[in-house]
Amino acid sequence: MKSISPNFFYTAASFAVLGGLVSCQSRQKPLNIVYIMTDDHTSQMMSCYDTRYIETPNLDRIAKDGVRFTNSFVSNSLSGPSRACMLTGKFSHKNGFTDNTTCKFDGAQQTMPKLLQQAGYQTAIVGKWHLETLPTGFDFWEILPGQGDYYNPDFITQTNDTVNKRGYVTNIITDESLDWLQNKRDRSKPFCLFIHHKAIHRNWMADTCDLNLYEDKEFTYPENFFDTYDGRLAAASQEMSIAKDMDLIYDLKMQRSDKETPLKSLYEQFYGRMDSAQKAVWDKFYTPIIDKFYKDDLKGEDLVRWKYQRYMRDYAKTVKSLDDNVGKVLDYLKKEGLLDNTLVVYTSDQGFYMGEHGWFDKRFMYEESMRTPLIMRLPEGFDKRGDIPQLVQNIDYAPTFLELAGVSVPSDIQGVSLLPLLKGESPADWRTSLYYHFYEYPAEHAVKRHYGVRTDRYKLIHFYNDIDVWELYDLQNDPMEMHNIFGQEGTEQVTADLMKELKRLQVQYDDPILKEFPIGE
């Protein structure tokens, strides 16, 4: 582990762990951590990353006052597995939570919140949990059952009661988080607060106060919106197409009594959670759109384009509430004098497709879903500002928080601390490749199981299980991953080098898949 900067501040407990690394003179207030994570919020829809679509002024405040990671990725682009990787600092095959359909998180295992607790930190989580078992390692928790609901959601409390809260879920999660900070924590201890939002998960139901936003905006279509998936068998087999798989009622709210879609009943459950006042505003907005849609009776490409525009508008409106609530958190921390002593992290559990390849959802190792936004507002004593270009992954969050708190990072944690990067250093031995493994198949959206390696320029993917297909992309010349060059003349050396690196990573991370599909034998 790298030496700790004397600018960091520690609790007495963490000082004992660090021993002589920190002098008594440098030990002041311990640093707090506020970790804000959303669901399916992709960097294309954050103006500090991409200005094509919407403005996110409060998220931009974090990036402006701190750092923006420009090569931030996940190790398994799916909600539950991503959260398990964050909590443990380990890949899915090590923490045991590989997919959302068959797994339950083992709460008895070592986690970063537990280690922070042992070092004298108070830990709390409010919002989406999505790990099938109740949280452990938290002094306070209040979580959504499963995916949760946008309107008048239920929460599971520490007494194992389910309580209903009236209002819009993004507002409620923020208010409950700030209530813990203001009224329920022990102010004599440092804290690590996890604010986990449901937003911006399907089916993108915006707050009633934001329904009219973006209705006059025509969103730009990605260049590969009408992708035909030539040379990419797995991509052609998916079921996450805006054209074919996006539900007119569940996803796009075109509800009418005489119309049926596969997910209509599920939408009616969500709609039914609204009270009469919420329904009145909702119906006033959507009824004219519904009437016009069925009158126009769009077909073919016109229908696909219409679906994309509605999807983008609903998504953008849901982001608006999220951004407002991030601003509320920042304002509270500033008002309470906590900002200079708190690391504020904002990220998502993975990226998402905003029409690229004609898709919504995530799962694939392709760029839009493997990438995830990561911005941090740094505490006093960290002078680094601007972009951090090194390859980082969500398994790195746990060791980062532990080292920030002065806690020794256990040797079985597979991620690496980002603190050297936050201090402005450029370690010569920083990783030059990333490993990825997706497991959830057969399942919703029909994305085949696959694993692979990504370097700064190339990506090699192996789709397996009921398929045996390799894909190779030159990200420099083909950033949209449209041309699979695996097996093409002239790629032999690149392929051999990537195969060698893939095997090295599988050995390093002890992925048992190497025994099933041995490389180079």
Please tell me whether residue 511 adopts helix, strand or coil conformation: coil
Report, as ranges of residue numbers, the positions in the chain whose pLDDT lies below 70: 1-28, 521
Task: Please give the order of strands across the beta sheet that includes 374-377.
Answer: 162-164, 154-156, 140-144, 122-128, 191-196, 32-38, 342-348, 374-377, 67-69, 386-388
- Residue-level length of the chain: 521
What is the distance of C-alpha 241 from the center of its chain? Answer: 21
Q: Where are the beta strands (DSSP E) in 42-107?
A: 67-69, 72-73
The token pair that represents 204 in the structure block: 């993108």
Asked whether 173 and 198 are in contact (CB, 8 A), the reply is yes
375 forms beta bridges with: 68, 346
Q: What is the amino acid identity at position 446?
A: A
Burial class of residue 301 in the structure, from the number of CB atoms within 10 Å of its CB (0-12 exposed, 13-18 middle, 19+ buried): exposed
pLDDT value, residue 120? 97
For 154-212, the pLDDT digits (tens) are 999 999 899 999 999 999 999 999 999 999 999 999 999 999 999 999 999 999 999 99
Which of 466, 460, 467 is CA-nearest to residue 487?
460
- The contacts found for 489-493 with CB under 8 angstroms, 24 or more apart, are none
Question: Whole-angstrom Cα distance, residue 271 to residue 378?
Answer: 40
Output the 3-class SS for 162-213. Answer: EEECCCEHHHHHHHHHHHHHHHHCCCCCCEEEEEECCCCCCCCCCCHHHCCC
Question: Whole-angstrom Cα distance, residue 340 to residue 29?
Answer: 11
Asked whether 393 and 108 are in contact (CB, 8 A), the reply is no
The token pair that represents 334 in the structure block: 């500033």
For 334-386, the pLDDT digits (tens) are 999 999 999 999 999 999 999 999 999 999 999 999 999 999 999 999 999 99
Question: Whole-angstrom Cα distance, residue 8 to residue 487?
Answer: 50
Q: Are strands 374-377 and 32-38 parallel, antiparallel or unpaired?
A: unpaired
Asked whether 126 and 177 are in contact (CB, 8 A), the reply is yes
Question: Taking all residues of the chain, what is their mean pLDDT, rounded to a whole number?
Answer: 94
Q: Are strands 342-348 and 67-69 parallel, antiparallel or unpaired?
A: unpaired
Question: Before 249, cis peptide (omega within 30)?
Answer: no
Burial class of residue 218 in the structure, from the number of CB atoms within 10 Å of its CB (0-12 exposed, 13-18 middle, 19+ buried): exposed
